[in-house]
Structure 1
Amino acid sequence: MSIWRQSKFFEVHNLETVLAVAEAGSFRKAGELLGIGQSAVTRRIQKLEDMLGVSMFERNTTGARLTLAGQNFADRLRLLSIEYLDMMCAAQSAGTAGNGQLRMGLTASISRGTLREVIAKFQTRHANVVLSFTEADLGELMTSLSHRSIDVVGAVGEPISQYGDMMLLTRAPLYIAVGDDHPLAQRRCVEWSDVAAMTFLVSADVIGPTIHDYIIRKFSDFGRQASIEVQRMRREGLINLVGLGLGISLVCEQWCGVRYPNVVFVPLMENGKAETIPFSLTWRPENDNPALRRFLSLAREVAKADAAFSAPWQIPDRLP
């Protein structure tokens, strides 16, 4: 028989009564604390003593005093009650994302943009939640998502339904990264036609293939072939190559929060409107992590506000 099946005979109110009598030093005063009569206190204590086969208290005319066995029992019971309260508080706190962990997979930087705003607000509201991040290519992140080693994926691109539940968080403005001595460096904005003859540098790692395919599709709309060089470098190394004048690069807003030597970011326009790329969140619907639920609720709140106040026809700021 398990300990839980044995312990069902120890009714909670009987245990509570032991502590009340121990603290009050009297059956009568314990009854007043518990809001019951002295006779009910006596019955509860007797029932527990009969179950254990030992006396909990020495009774006398002046009150009740714990026996040695009773003292040991009460001390352990008090520790147990403290642990029980801690357990209940921990469960309630986890239910409101007051603690726990949120594991996020990323294919993009969080130096700037809507996702950074969501994370910053979440951290403020739920400071006890441990945030952990993994940067990898989309395929690796989706595998981790399926195996529940991460909770949510933030990635450039439209939501992909076969991976789970998803939401469009924002449409991030696109920029052309150029060297500060490049002919386009002083422009307020550029269009695809302005960069049609230029060489794009694309990373072979993480988000590179997505950007590569995006450039190919855009140039095919113009009936032209893009000039692309794939470098086996991460985003930071690639932008440093831009600063050395070895080419230009297409970046979304998330990467523009960091300053790079001799590099400026010029907003990209199309047909007079800011060119944007979707940025989405994906998660598994069966994931019941309370921290994830609070994070997604906040993300929807921020996404709604972002959509309400964004004006796609405005030119984004030119960034150094």
Structure 2
Amino acid sequence: MELRQLRYAVTTADTQSFSRAADMLKVKQSTLSRRVMQLEHRLGIKLFERTTRGAEPTETGRVFLEAARRILIDVEDLQTTARAVNSGEHGRLTIGYCSSLMAGPLRLAFSDYLTRYPDVQFDGIEAGTEKLLNGLQARTIDVVIAPAGNEQSDVQTRPLWSERLMAVLTGENRLHENKRIYWQDLRREVFVVPSNGIGPNLANLLSARLSEQGYRPKIVIQDTSLESAISMVAVNRYITIATEASQGVTWPNLHFREIYDPSGPARLEFALYWREGNQNPALLRFFELIEERYPG
């Protein structure tokens, strides 16, 4: 049974005429009529009553023709979906990230993509950089947004954006009144950072900036999210650092103070990572959006 036969039969039913159906489909009437007869022979039923007035579906034919119509509609939908997948407007995209989604460029990028391509299944995975890059290599993740400086073989990368680094503390902290906080001001503080997401990157940054001869910063690692780590600062036992994106909500009794290097505000650089040869059309559309919003 051919789709063409179904289309000939359904069009004949719609027009109730072999000649009009042939004109509509731009085929010879003899060809269309022969194909419909072959279909009837294969099915073992009579689809049409043929009269001088045209072709009227039989009772049995009506049931079959309605089912055939649904099949043709499904096939057209499949073709439309296939074209949309090929153009990146359908399909699936899996993005790994470790930065906060409360505010900032990451949230804007995701929001833009979801608005522009609502029919793409968008899967977000929040985890530490190492786990995300392992997922990239295992082909369970299409693209990763993480701090720069994690290059690997067979992985492409491009710079994205940078976010200001903030010290998060209570109003009772000795640094609360400082107009500017420099890295050296943070020595002797106790920090709490999460074990997941951007936490390991923050812990490494604190160690690099605050370690000196005979001194290592006190860093408490908690198996929690960055948002929960920030909430723990309210007990006035720890402080933490975060990117400016974490200011997207109100944190009662907590203050965000920008951290400064000698050359200016301290920032954390982010980059895009993806496997070489990944031709997922939905990913290519994401690249177009990134290039549009954050030209390289």
TM-score category, normalised to shorter length: 0.7 to 0.9
In structure 1, the residue matched to 2:72 is: 81
Residues in 1 aligned to 2:138 and 2:50: alpha-carbon distance in whole angstroms:
61
Q: How far off its partner does 1:72 sit? A: 4.3
Number of corresponding residues: 295
* Deviation of 1:141 (Å): 2.5
Whichever residue aligns with residue 111 of structure 2, its letter is: A
Find out whether 1:198 has 2:189 as its counterpart.
yes
SS of equivalent residue, structure 1 residue 141: helix
Matched letter for residue 215 of structure 1: L
Tell me how far 1:37 sits from its aligned partner. Answer: 4.2
Once the 2 structures are TM-superposed, how far is the Cα of residue 224 of structure 1 from its aligned partner? 7.4
Secondary structure (helix, strand or coil) at the match of 1:256 reads helix
Greater Cα shift, 71-80 or 282-291: 282-291
Distance 1:53 1:247 in 2: 82
Give the SS at the match of 1:143: helix
Q: Distance in 2 between matches of 1:58 and 1:202?
A: 79
Q: Distance in 1 between matches of 2:9 and 2:101?
A: 56
Could you tell me which of 158, 166, 179 is aligned with 2:157? 166
Q: Which amino acid aligns with 1:88?
A: Q
What does residue 221 of structure 2 align with?
Answer: 231
Residue of 279, 293, 301 corresponding to 2:292: 301
Report how far residue 100 of structure 1 moved: 3.8
Q: Which runs of 5+ in 2 are unaligned?
A: none
Number of the residue aligned with 1:313:
none
Q: Map Cα deviations across residues 62-112 of structure 1 (whole Å, 9 max, x no partner).
A: 212234554444232211101111212222333444444433323222112
- 1:150-179 deviations in Å (ceiling 9; x for gaps): 333222232423362333221221111222
Cα deviation, residue 115, structure 1: 0.8
Question: What TM-score, normalized to structure 1?
Answer: 0.79
The 8 Å contact of residues 24 and 30 in structure 1, kept in 2 or not, is answered as yes
Counterpart in the other structure of 2:11: 20
Paired with 1:228 and 1:166, the residues of 2 have a C-alpha distance of: 33
Q: Which residue of 2 aligns with 1:142?
A: 133
Q: In structure 2, what residue type is equivalent to 1:196?
A: R
TM-score by length of 2: 0.84
Aligned residue number for residue 235 of structure 2:
244
**Structure 1 counterpart of 2:169, which letter?**
V
Q: Report the aligned-residue RMSD.
A: 2.9
Question: Is the contact between residue 219 and residue 226 of structure 1 (CA under 8 Å) also seen in structure 2?
Answer: yes
The one-letter code sitting in structure 1 at the alignment partner of 2:65 is: A
Q: Residue 102 of structure 1: which of 88, 93, 104 is its match?
A: 93
Structure 1 unaligned residues grouped into runs of 5+:
1-6, 308-320
CA separation of 1:45 and 1:244: change in aligned 2, threshold 3 A: closer
| Partners of 2:235 and 2:256 in 1: CA distance | 15
Q: AA paired with 1:230?
A: V
Structure 1 position 253 matched with structure 2 position 244 = yes
8 A contact 1:202–1:228 mirrored in 2: no
Asked if the contact 1:159–1:166 (Cα under 8 Å) also holds between the matched residues in 2, the reply is: no
Amino acid at match of 1:173: R
Contact 1:205–1:233 (8 Å) recurs in 2 = yes
Shift in alpha-carbon separation, 1:237–1:73, aligned structure 2, 3 A: closer
